[in-house]
Structures are given as structure tokens and as C-alpha cells.
Amino acid sequence: MVIVGAGFGGLAAARALRRAPVRITIVDRSNHHLFQPLLYQVATAALSPADIAAPIRRIFRHQANVSVLLAEATAVDVPGKRVVLADGVVDYDRLIVATGATHAYFGHDDWAEQAPGLKTLKDALRIRQRILLAFEVAEREPDEARRRAWMTFVIVGGGPTGVELAGTLAEVSRQTLARDFRHINTASARVILVEATPRVLGAYSEDLAEAARKQLEKLGVAVWTGVQVTGIDAEGVCIGRERIHAHTVLWAAGVAASPLAQSLGVPLDRAGRVLVEPELTLPGRDDVYVIGDLAHIQQKGALVPGVAPAAIQQGRHAAENILRTLKGQPRRPFHYVDKGMLATIGRGAAVARIGRLKATGFVAWLLWLFVHILFLIGFRNRVVVLLQWAWLYATFDRGARLITEPLTEPLVGSDSPAAPSCREPSAR
Amino acid sequence: MVIVGAGFGGLAAARALRRAPVRITIVDRSNHHLFQPLLYQVATAALSPADIAAPIRRIFRHQANVSVLLAEATAVDVPGKRVVLADGVVDYDRLIVATGATHAYFGHDDWAEQAPGLKTLKDALRIRQRILLAFEVAEREPDEARRRAWMTFVIVGGGPTGVELAGTLAEVSRQTLARDFRHINTASARVILVEATPRVLGAYSEDLAEAARKQLEKLGVAVWTGVQVTGIDAEGVCIGRERIHAHTVLWAAGVAASPLAQSLGVPLDRAGRVLVEPELTLPGRDDVYVIGDLAHIQQKGALVPGVAPAAIQQGRHAAENILRTLKGQPRRPFHYVDKGMLATIGRGAAVARIGRLKATGFVAWLLWLFVHILFLIGFRNRVVVLLQWAWLYATFDRGARLITEPLTEPLVGSDSPAAPSCREPSAR
């Protein structure tokens, strides 16, 4: 059998089949499993890529029924029972599709260049480079207005990623970089978090979302809710009809399911997710499972959220259904067990819900820290990350403040055209 | 005053001037100081970039007379007393040029694409990606001869970097990856170290060089000395008239001084180094110092070697001469104090000379380890590197086995043209 995607879901499925009489091929276009919940820490220079990633081969070194294929899956040929790769095909008898989601610009793909999203290590390194370069250019820029634009950071999207990025960026500018520059006061950097709905962390209850907003504002983040981004270009962001001059815009707003879903030949939801059967199978096919962020599953009237615990539960459940099929037993419907939600905001600041219990502030943050260290893959990674966090907590110092890409264009002095004014948001 | 380059030399000079009544501007095109002696460990996935690099601003955070400029210096206008940047100019009253060296292909610049060298973090990440991808492609390649070419690694140049790369590559293929692949036996990978002169580590005595060769061969490296590389292309390497089919060729052969030297208007040696005065000044100018790998200094009939201790001593000496000038005292000639040499070969294998004492094997390796941890910049880096090494030593596991660049072309199945035969080496 074949598993496409070695995220939380694919990994959980393969592990659950470790004693099963099946030969598993895992196909992934990366050679590593990525612990995405900490990706924003790579983007903000606290951790190195290797701290939150583990080679897929290494993970399955001792699981003899798994082989790993580094390849990009471009389509699934469901009737032909094969996965089409960029450079070949792989036949399967059973298939688990777990290719997840990527960020989406809601029809504004031209924003991608100016407002990078955060899904891969490459994305994180690009964002890190942008943030660090912005301060470097500001240090050299003599013009007050231009310097201001380099020291303005806009994060679009008030979900967990946006909140984490905004909170951390405020900490970076106010603490980490505070004494490193001679011409600018990094603490005067503006960090603006923009959210179109009335509140940040929309998946949380109103009181927790309000607590998150307060903690963000305490860290120095301007939280703008209920306002819509109508344009992004090299000069900044249009928020409604107001233009914010900013050279660093980060996109944490939309997700769209992996395009692989489109080749499955079944109905998708608006975000491109597959409307799977309760057993997690593709409608009409009992040899294809779809799990994780790629799957649309309703439970008690609500969508199962696109979070790591849900993907892991689905991976395990798909594996169990495959085992049951092998034994001639009927497949069982999936039931999501919601253990709670955690979002971190900054140093000692977080919100948490565990079952019906709620926590905010330092307690929630400790809980967040504990859970993330616990679920990080690899003993080595846990030790290194704990060490880096202890150092960061004690000193505010971020070890991975590296600009590794060579400078390809002049940093200062290039005259940019006057930014056009912003238009009224179009009714969509 | 201005210091161009924040390598070992530039850093030592700036630090030695910490209490001097001067305002120092450090210009570097990277935002970090790089501990180059450990760069090969990033290229071979043992360490992360952040482990061996430190932000220059962070290093000088508490030295108020230093400001840092992230910029590429393209020339020095010696009569005009200014440094020309890619995007501006900086005036100076005194200047220290410490831009070091880069790798050189001896007139074969077309080899650069196929045989990357190792000077920057970007280089190291590119080499890491190549090495890891080679094994991934081999795992998928059904054709025996082609698989062999993917599992053949040629390192050109038997100096310290070449020896380190070859020894580590042998260890990676024989230990680290040993159980991770299902279709290939990584231990059968060929690692060939090619050196044109009769022995590796030419700067060492004959017995130490011979000890190094033996240790390399014990690790599984084929050491070919006295043979010349006459061609490098996508299919492999021509060594004399013999063609070695290899898709991974690493260049550790030649260095050339930074091209900035050419703008100084003084005689250079064949490698492009500046023939400086004994006081480390530019001939005819007492306001410009040239130090480190960029400087050509003869002492007792021999060239002062291009190693970190020499650069540090020169940086301190240039600083001292500037202080003496400020006090109206005469400048002093530079004297290099040779404390010894250390080269590591692999796990528990190294050669060392300390004064007149010589050591090989485990003792030399422990010494190497101690010295490198000691000179690494930043307490955090020391702790993290020690931890990573302890883990590596205990498990052979290399944490940074990451392919972070997206795959841009098919890994397998592309038919390559038959490689041309190799020509007789031309007399040069």
C-alpha cells in the first residue's frame, strides 16, 4: 500500500501499521517530517530547521515494512490504482492520501510574492530573511518615512499562526534586537495584526479570544479586527481604503487543500477538501482513504478542525480500518476526540482549552510548552529545542538570526514609484 | 575607521580596538560571523547553520564604538579614502581590509556548477542538499551503472577541507545512513579524494600526512594522490585520461583572494593576495591595512598560512599599530607565532602538530575537538555544538539531514548523453 504525505496523519497511519502484514511505501516531496506547530519559531529565528524536522527515513529506520520514496505526487489515478509522480508512477492496492493543505490567497495569487505564507521550511527561512533584512535596511535608510515603512510589519490573518507571528515579532523588535542597532530604535517597530472577522482566534470561545487580544496588545501588537485587506503590493497593504506603508507583509490568512484532491474525481468543499465517508474512505472506493487537512469531515454539525491531533487520530483510524478489512471485519466510522486547543502568543502568554477547562497567561503557556516538547519527534530534537528555549527565555537572544541568501539587489537608495491609493473593497 | 569583512581577522581587530578612541564601522555582506573551520559539518548534516554562525550585531552589542553595515563592498577608492558599496559609499580615515579568500577553479570556472566549493553557509547547504539527494536518487534508480554514478563521490583537493569532507562522507555512507534505505547499500558508496601533489595535507610533515592517509583509508576513502583533474561535467570527473562516473563532485582545491584586492592599486601575488608591508599596511599608504587570507606575508622564507590563528594575530596587530599611530608611536612589524596545526579526518581520527609535538588518532582528535569548542563564538553555540557532537558520537545520527529546497526537476528517468572521453591533461 501507499501513503502520500508524511505529515502528522501519514506518519500516524504508517506507525499504526507497523505490525500489519502490508508493505508500505511512503511518498513525500520532502525528505523530512516537519513539526509544523513550531514552524513560526524558525521564521522568527528562535529555532533552526533541523530542530523541528526529522528525516522520514530515520523515523522508519526500524520499521522494516516501510520504504520511503522522495517524489512529488502530482495526481491519483483512482481507476488505475496508481499514484502519478512528477517522474514516474507507483501502483497501489490501498492508498492513504494525506497531503494536507497549503496557504491560499483567495483569488489574489499576485499577493503571494509580497506576502509570503508559512507552510514549509523554505517558507520559514524566506520569512526569517525578510524580517531580518527589514531591520538592516531601516538601519541604513536615512529617510524617515521610508525607514518607517521598513519597520512596519503587517500580519494578515488572526488565526493561531498569525497570532504567534505577531506576538513573536513584537518580542523580537522590543527585546531581542533592542541593543543591536545604532541608528534605529527597534522597539519603535509597528506590528499590526489584521483579521477580517470580529475577533482573533475565531476557533476559540469569546473570552479566550479576548484574553489573547489583551496579551497581544500588552506585547505591543496593534490588533485590527473586522477590517479587510483589499490590496498588497511592494509599498504596503490596503486595509479597507487606508494604505499602510509596510515592506514586510506576512500571510497567515487562508488555507486551501492540496491540489492532489482535484484528481480524485469526487466532490470537494469550497476549500478544496475531500468530502470523505464516515469511514474516511473516498466515496465509492474502499481502497482509498483521505485523512488530515485534506479531508472534510462533519461531526456533531461542525467540521473536524485542521489540527495535528485530528490528523493523528484520522491516520490511526484509517490504519485500523485497513487492518479490519484485511481481517474481513467491517470498517468503522471515525469519531474525533477533541482534547482541547492551545495557542501561544508570546513569552509567558497563551490561551488554552482542555476539555471544558480554560486557561490563559503563564499557566496556558507552560502547558503549551509541555505539549509541544512532548509531541516533537525525536529525543535529540526535544533536548535541543528545550535548550534553545531555555536560552531564549533567559536572554531573549535568538540564535538563528541568519541571513543566508546572498544579497541580490541594492538594499537602499532605489527609488520606488508612489504607491497608488487604495480602492473601496469590492463586494464579493 | 572602517573594517571590511567580519571574519576572524576583522573581528579580532574590532575587538582589540574596544577601548580605543575611534568609531568603527564594520562592513560585511553577511549579517553573521561564520566559524569556517566547522563549515564542513554543516555540509555533512551534523550541525545547523545557526550552530556555527553568530550575528555580527550581537557580537558587538556591548561595544558602543562599533556600528555594523550589511553591505557588499565592491571596491576601495584608496586616493579618495572611501569604500565603494553595491549601494553606496562609506568614507574612512583608516581602513582594515579583511575580506579573505574564496574558492578558485584555476581558469575552469565552468566547473563551478558541477563541483561546488565550500566557503559560505549557502555553499554548505547546497552541498548538503546534493549529498542527500544523491542517495535518494540512487534509491530510486533501477539501472546499476547509473546508481553507481549517484553513489560515487569525488572530492577534489587534499587539503584540510578535502580531507574532512572525504572522511565525513565515508562515515555518513557507512554509518549514518546504513539502515535507512531499502534498495541500496549505502556502505558501498565510493568516496574518492583526489590530490594533484604527491600527498594529502601538504602543509604537514610527511609522517603526519601519511598518518592522515592511513586514517582516511581505514574509514573507507580511496585516496588518489599525484593525479590531476582534467575535466568536470554532469557525468563525472576526468582524472588524467580516466573517467570516473560521479554525480557528486565537491571542490576543495584552490583558493583565490577576494576580488576587492584588485581595486587597491598595488601588486598582488599569483593567488590575488596583497603583498603587504611588514607592518601589515598597503605599500605606500599608512591608512590602509590588509590582513588575513587577503594578505601575502613572508616570514622566515615561508608564507604565513591562511588559517584562523594567523588572521586573528594579524587583526590584533593591525589594531595595535593603529593605536600606536594614534599615540604618535612608530608602527611595528608583524610576527606570526605558529602555535601548531590541527586537521580532523573523522570520528576519533585527526592529525596535530603543537609546536614540535606531533599527535595522531584519538588524542589529536580530542585536541581538535577541545580547540574548536574553545574558539567557537558564543556560549550558546558551544553548548549546542557539544550536545550535537555527543549525540552524533553516541548514535552516528546526523540531525540536519534536510533537503529544504523544493525539487525542481525529475530525479530519475532523464536520459543523459553519453559522456565524452577524457583528454590528455594539457601542459600548463
CB contact under 8 A, A31 and B403: yes
> If you write DSSP's letter for every residue of B185-234 in order, what string do you get?
-GGG-EEEEEESSSSSSTTS-HHHHHHHHHHHHHHTEEEEES--EEEEET
Q: Are A70 and B140 within 8 A, CB to CB? A: yes
Pick A428 or B278 by higher pLDDT.
Answer: B278
Percent of chain A with pLDDT over 70: 97
| Mean pLDDT over the full length of chain A | 92
Give the chain B residue whose CA is nearest to the CA of A57: B180
- Give backbone dihedrals phi and psi of A392, rounded to 5 degrees, phi first: -60, -45
DSSP string, B362-375: HHHHHHHHHHHHHH
How long a stretch of residues is chain A? 428
Who contacts B129 (Cβ-Cβ below 8 Å, separation ≥6)?
B403, B404, B405
Cβ neighbours of residue A201 under 8 Å, at least 6 residues apart? A158, A159, A160, A163, A208, A209, A212, A343, A351
Average pLDDT of the segment spanning A407-412:
73
Kindly report, residue by residue over A114-171, the tens digit of the pLDDT. 999 999 999 999 999 999 999 999 999 999 999 999 999 999 999 999 999 999 999 9
Contact call for A411 and B87, based on CB within 8 A? yes
Q: Answer yes or no: is the ipTM higher than 0.95.
A: no
Active site residue A164: yes
- Chain-chain contact of A179 with B136 (C-beta, under 8 angstroms): no
Catalytic residue among A164, A195, A235, A320: A164
Quick one: cell of B233?
A: 561535467
Shortest CA gap B183–chain A (Å): 9
Q: Which cell numbers in the block locate residue B285?
A: 599608504
Radius of gyration of chain A (CA): 22
What pLDDT does residue B388 have?
86
| Predicted local distance difference test score (pLDDT) of residue A398 | 85
Closest approach of chain B CAs to the CA of A136, in angstroms?
7
**pLDDT tens, residue by residue, B349-361:** 999 999 889 999 9
- Residue B168's φ and ψ, nearest 5 degrees, are -70, -40
Quote the pLDDT of residue B409.
72
Residues in chain A closer than 8 A to B121 (CB atoms): 402, 404
Single pTM value for the model:
0.92
- Binning pLDDT at 50, 70 and 90, where does residue A385 land? confident
pLDDT score, position B406: 78
Searching chain B, which residue's CA lies closest to the CA of residue A46? Answer: B50
First vs last C-alpha separation in chain A: 43
The Cα A158–Cα B51 span in angstroms is 33
A387-402 tens-digit pLDDT: 888 888 888 888 888 8
pLDDT tens digits, one per residue of A364-381: 999 999 999 988 887 788
- pLDDT computed for residue B182 by the predictor: 94
Least Cα distance to A123 among A194, A253, A36 occurs for A36
pLDDT at A425 over 60: no
Chain A residues near residue B406 by CB distance under 8 angstroms = 29, 120, 122
Residue numbers in B near A136 (CB within 8 A):
31, 70
- Which pLDDT does position A238 carry in this prediction? 95
Looking at residue A375, its pLDDT comes to 86
Q: Is residue A427 over pLDDT 50?
A: no
> What is the structure's pLDDT at B425?
57
How far does A35 lie from chain B, in Å, by closest CA? Answer: 13
Q: Which residues of chain B have pLDDT under 50?
A: 427-428
Identify the pLDDT of residue A212: 96
CA distance A334 to chain B (A): 33
CA distance A188 to B348: 51
Q: How many CB pairs below 8 Å do chains A and B form together?
A: 166
Q: Check residue A31 and give its pLDDT.
A: 95
Half-sphere exposure of B315 toward its Cβ, with a 13 Å CA cutoff? 27
